[in-house]
Amino acid sequence: MVDDLRIVTASKPLVRPVEPAAVLVDKPGGITSFGVVKTIRWALRVKKVGHAGTLDPMATGLLIVLVGRNATRQQDRFMGLPKTYTATVRLGQTTTTYDAEGDIETEVDATGVSDDAIEAALVGFRGDILQRPPIFSAIKKDGERLYKKARRGEEVEIEARPTSVYAFDVLDRRGDDVDVRVECSKGTYVRSLAHDLGQALGVGGHLVALRREAIGPFQASEAFDLNDLMEAAREPA
């Protein structure tokens, strides 16, 4: 429980009425966070549904879905929690979006980048840092989302913002693909970490996979598969 808010996980049967509750959902790739919210709103027949932290469409992992008015009012309590991700950075290529969804902008041979060079570069991204978000992001500038300006081809000066990276470590490497684990504060763009790591190594880089493993104490391993949640919602109360 978070005050009067029930935490709904996959380990227990879905009890109705669900609201007010925070439902842990393992978001599949290829759907927006808002798409998950719409699906759950329809399945549970609850008007007031939101989430506590967007995941990009290509990303998978933990999405905390807030069900009911008393739940959505507590959104900030979840939004401020630290996040844990696993991700794959592909060295040698940069893209317009800093991830695999965008067009390739540059491509170079990254085979000469050593494991020691990667470890040394990671040090500069740990701790309290200034990070410049991707232009393809939902951040607003002059009252408009940056991605809308980017789609029109506008040149936009994006200010660097303070954020905190508690851990940025290599898990594995397969050629140009580097698997990493990131623990960070609210507002950190793992896409930007991937891009900036590539820049620091002199070869460029972008994100090709991203999974949110945890938000504070809440784990993706506890979360509902979206299809299983829909099935549970269809069962008689």
The CA angle 70-51-150, to the nearest 5 degrees, is: 140
Cis peptide before 17 (omega within 30 of 0): yes
Q: What is the pLDDT of residue 237?
A: 58
Q: Using alpha carbons, select from 173, 57, 66 the residue that is nearest to residue 115.
A: 173
Band the pLDDT of 11: cuts 50, 70, 90.
very high
Q: What is the pLDDT of residue 5?
A: 87
Q: Using alpha carbons, select from 105, 121, 112, 124 the residue that is nearest to residue 198.
A: 121
Q: What is the pLDDT of residue 15?
A: 85
Give yes or no for residue 158 having a pLDDT over 80: no
Residue that wins the pLDDT comparison between 163 and 135: 163
Q: How many helices and strands (H and E) does the chain possess? A: 7, 15
Band the pLDDT of 1: cuts 50, 70, 90.
very low
Band the pLDDT of 156: cuts 50, 70, 90.
low
Record the tokens describing residue 169, joined without a space: 């470590």
Record the tokens describing residue 114, joined without a space: 């050593």
pTM: 0.92
* Residue with tokens 């759907």, as numbered in its chain: 31
**Segment 135-152 mean pLDDT:** 62
Give yes or no for residue 144 having a pLDDT over 80: no
* Strand 21-27 relative to strand 161-174, pairing: unpaired
Integer Cα distance of 34 and 32 in angstroms: 5
Active site residue 172: no
Q: What is the pLDDT of residue 71?
A: 95
Give yes or no for residue 18 having a pLDDT over 80: yes
Q: What is the pLDDT of residue 133?
A: 83
pLDDT tens for 92-133 read: 999 999 999 999 999 999 999 999 999 999 999 999 999 988
Domains and CATH numbers, the chain: 6-80+216-234 (3.30.2350.10), 83-215 (3.30.2350.10)
Q: Using alpha carbons, select from 232, 138, 126 the residue that is nearest to residue 185.
A: 126
Identify the active-site residue in 3, 26, 56, 225: 56
Mean pLDDT of the chain: 91
Measured in degrees and rounded to the nearest 5, phi and psi for residue 190 equal -65, -30
pLDDT tens for 60-70 read: 999 999 999 99
Give yes or no for residue 171 having a pLDDT over 90: yes
